[in-house]
Amino acid sequence: MHTRLQLGRTPADPTPLDHDIDARIERLRNMVRGARITALTGAGLSTDSGIPDYRSPNAPVRTPMTVQMFLSSHEFRRHYWARNHLGWRHMDAARPNDGHLALTRLQRQGRLTGVITQNVDMLHLKAGTRRVVELHGCYGRVRCLGCGAVLSRQALAGRLEALNPGFADRVAGRGAIEVAPDADTTLSDTGDFVVVDCARCGGILKPDIVYFGENASKDVVDQSFSLVDDGDVLVVAGSSLTVMSGLRFARHAHRTGKPVVIVNRGATRADPIADLKIDHYCSAVLSALAGTHAGPAADIAV
């Protein structure tokens, strides 16, 4: 089974925060008391870590590169890698926020079975959460499309920096750089950037990220369904579920009689089947659920 990501990241219309948040959180506590929780997370969970999302109210409209564009020409790949050479550093420096830490605490309490994340930021792993399925891959790995070799993004950064000395500093001097949720940036001046190919076979190198227009692997999708089946309740945090990639798991939980809880700023495609919807910030709600207070994230060593 594959999931094809579709292009079209239009922000949701602004919605008011739920005014009865204390009552809703108490209802959430009652729903999950004694239950095994599976979490499905999206970009809205990571905004408190300084990583922007695509569809929350007031988010800027973005047009990410599709896999078809990336594969179609060297120019598109050069444009992408130049932007990623800047963007991945921002994502690598990001730290888990209270929402990530709350999920880790729930797991250590024996209440969370695992996490399915649509994010590529690796913040669940940095927070210490285990049994994390990265539905769309992660920014920290690069894969050769020819021989399948895998290398770290850090290792590739060294090669790119050697061929593009001072590129990041030169670009930074041209003005503010807007970073996107997938370790990309909105940089347009990339004509002088030099791209590298696979050192083993000369093949095309691509971030180990599921691009729009690309399929999530069957194995990863199967692991995600298994996580949903292992839990008693599905908690969706920070996702509009606009693409079927995440929506299918909410629908699966609903079909199999598991309660679906959604914590998100703005409407989601699964609102009609949700047993509880909380229009509020993920960090605050998850911290309350885990028995912690939302505040500055702890400085956790990776």
- Binding-site residue positions for Zn(2+): 144, 147, 198, 201
3-state SS string for 115-137: EEECCCCCHHHHCCCCCEEECCE
- The DSSP output letter for 45 is G
Question: Looking up tokens 């229009």, which residue turns up?
Answer: 279
**Long-range contacts of 70-77, Cβ-Cβ distance < 8 Å, separation of 24 or more:** 70/206, 70/211, 71/204, 74/195, 77/195, 77/204
Could you list the residues known to form a binding site, using ranges: 144, 147, 198, 201
From 2, 136, 252, 280, active-site residue? 136
Query: How many CA atoms are closer than 13 Å to the CA of 163, on its beta-carbon side?
Result: 14
Query: How many CA atoms are closer than 13 Å to the CA of 160, on its beta-carbon side?
Result: 25
Widest Cα–Cα separation across the chain: 59
Q: Is 136 a catalytic residue?
A: yes
- The DSSP output letter for 19 is T
Q: Which residues form the catalytic set? A: 136
